Amino acid sequence: MSTYRQPELVLTDRHYTVPLDHARPDGETIELYGREVVARDKADRNDLPWLLYLEGGPGFGARRFIGPQAWLGRAVREFRVLLLDQRGTGRSTPANRQTLPLRGTPRGQAAYLAHFRADSIVKDCELIRRELTGGAPWTVLGQSFGGFCATHYLSTAPEGLATVLITGGLPSLGATADEVYRAAYPRILRKNEAHYARYPDDVERVRAIVAHLQERPAALPGGGTLTPEAFQSLGILLGTGQGTHQLHLLLEDAFVPTPAGPALSDAFLEAVRAQLSFAGHPLYAVLHEAIYAQGPGHGHGATDWAAERVRAEFPAFDAAKALTGDGPVMLTGESIHPWHFATDPALAPLRETAEHLAARADWAPLYDPARLAANEVPVAAAVYHDDMYVDTAHSLRTARTIRGLRTWVTDEFEHDGVRAGGPRVLDRLLALVRDEV
């Protein structure tokens, strides 16, 4: 283990070996990485309880903090923290276009990635907990998809949990992928309307960019293609606290004059590429719909590109149709489509793998409503009013199912409140589970 220091903190690199398939503990293994973080003035204490942080996603490694940023400063006041890179992410055994060919055919790659959902992640956590804490239960903080994992944890291994804190990540216990997106698109439309009300000049800016791309899809720096649909997916920014402002700043100087007429500037295309590329988190795209799948026994079948199919039910997102009138072109949000695997060079080699995952129907169930109804673990959840990424109604329905769960419903933050709100969100959730508010 390597130990080093940052402002006010001591950090230690930790590495773990876990089975790829927990049903075959003597079979193939993969490596996981976790970063232990403790306050410098508490580094020698052995009595600190552990807090495990599960990042959102799927497909993102744990956030890389420098010093006691955001919620971390509050956490290290009383916890020793483990920032876990979930399987396939960060410094854990990687799963991307470069490494997945080691698994053979696209079908073999898809079979491998079927072990990268919340069920496997929670089993990883339990192996790590028993090694790290000596068997003592720990507190879990789950952001977004990390909250999905925490809910699965409550369903399958509550004995490992002292407390659960969830931010923007209470999943529906039974909604199919189709139902998730059918609830999502109206929220995305509301975020668009709010953005255009705040920045009315962006209506014409977006229309001009989409019209240009309809005639001439743009090559992005470093590869990839910016099509109208790909450009529309910049709407994912609208689900974060500062996203509407970031989007406006990105749009305000998109064009430059050239001898051939107006063209999208290199600076604009580079900024778009940085927002849209999946090079750093390909599993987000490849596994995104699979996180909602629970098998035919629960009314679920194959996800079959649910976001793409359901989008057709919402003609407001038809950019070509919008350009025939004078209204705004609506941007999309947290949704993955087949064309992502044609326009992004980080995803293009994984197209067939993604097709196999979209066609898979024999997923295991993720949640146990009966066990959640008998829950005895203290749980608190921040539910963001009109969260663009996770449906508020779905979250509140789940909150009513989990015995003893306390909610904090707020419109002060968007989906990234646990980061944007500094220590306040974590402070509030800890107060809720301790009956201090």
Looking at the annotation, which residues are catalytic? 144, 362, 415
Bridge pairing between strands 29-39 and 80-85:
antiparallel
- Give the whole-angstrom CA distance, residue 431 versus residue 437: 6
Four-CA torsion 314, 317, 319, 323, nearest 10 degrees: 80
- Give the whole-angstrom CA distance, residue 225 versus residue 323: 21
- Give the whole-angstrom CA distance, residue 304 versus residue 322: 27
Residue 230: in which H helix or E strand, if any? helix 228-232
**Alpha helices (runs of H) in 21-173, residue ranges in sequence order:** 72-75, 106-113, 118-132, 145-156
What residues pair up with 29 in beta bridges, in sequence order? 19
Residue 11: in which H helix or E strand, if any? strand 9-19
Four-CA torsion 53, 57, 58, 62, nearest 10 degrees: -40
What residues pair up with 82 in beta bridges, in sequence order? 36, 52
- Half-sphere exposure of 84 toward its Cβ, with a 13 Å CA cutoff? 28
DSSP string across 179-208: HHHHHHHHHHHHHHHHHHHH-TTHHHHHHH
